[in-house]
Structure 1
């Protein structure tokens, strides 16, 4: 009877161990997706005149919550639609991570907008999100000179008007 009991405990522990190993091994990479744009009206947000930048570079930076020490970095480049996809292998639950603008692909649209230069992202499977894809807010560079029709474009958004 004692041998049977020990065998059941051993099998149970072995099953629990293998299940936990399987979870770790089978967890897919987390993929961060986002877009980079040229703020052609220097509005601080995407407008109907916004263009998306092919060849722009972004950087993922993960820092220790307590010390602020950089733990992990990775870079990605945007495609023809201004979209980047960055795959991250390991969980970064104990870190604060953000996508940051790194380099513009356009000389006349390379000024970094302090309000739109980074987007926080959660890089862990342990947050109740079923998908392994994380969508970061769009990031934008500022055009050197706004387009001539920006006044009309911004009127669509009722900015600077008093009623």
Structure 2
């Protein structure tokens, strides 16, 4: 056996020993980043619009529960930056869980109501946190969530007219 063959066999042997060490060949748990925004809805129409204002310092929470059980498996609170946006890091694959972002706390005393009317009751943004869903990459985007003002801004009348929304007619 030549010297080069012995070195190659020795290298393969050392490599096999190294790869058999615990944790070396294990895949790392996937990481996901949940990105979204919190805003102040100044017209009380419960959807983001051109008059909505970003909410720096607004708080939201990601919560996960095992499908069908109702058992909470994970929660994490996050706060928005100066642009009203947040970015939460979540580790692991959560294919068997229902995951959603909900509003927690407003940073504005004049805009701190959580909508509770019609389709906007208990607003949340459901997200899928798994690699087995056809989405590529590690970033998941949540729908924007908004607190509402106690009283609509005066300039909202023009917006409602532009959108053909009659606030007095359901």
Normalising to structure 1: TM-score of the pair? 0.81
Q: Deviations over 1:7-53 (max 9, x none)?
A: xxxx9xx8xxx9972xx31x541000000010100011111111010
Q: What SS class does the counterpart of residue 74 from structure 2 fall into?
A: strand
Stretches of structure 2 that go unaligned for 5 or more consecutive residues are: 1-15
**Runs of 4+ that moved beyond 2 A:** 18-21
Is the contact made by 2:100 and 2:126 (CA closer than 8 Å) also made in structure 1? Answer: yes
Separation in 1, partners of 2:113, 2:60: 14
| 1:42-57 matched pairs, under 5 angstroms | 42-57=44-59
Stretches of structure 1 that go unaligned for 5 or more consecutive residues are: 1-10
Normalising to structure 2: TM-score of the pair? 0.78
2:160 counterpart residue number: 154
- Alignment length (residue pairs): 144
Aligned-CA RMSD value? 2.2
1:120 counterpart residue number: 126
**Aligned counterpart for 2:77 among listed residues 65, 72, 75:** 75
* Bigger CA radius of gyration: 2
Separation in 2, partners of 1:63, 1:44: 26
Separation in 2, partners of 1:131, 1:158: 39
2:141 counterpart residue number: 135
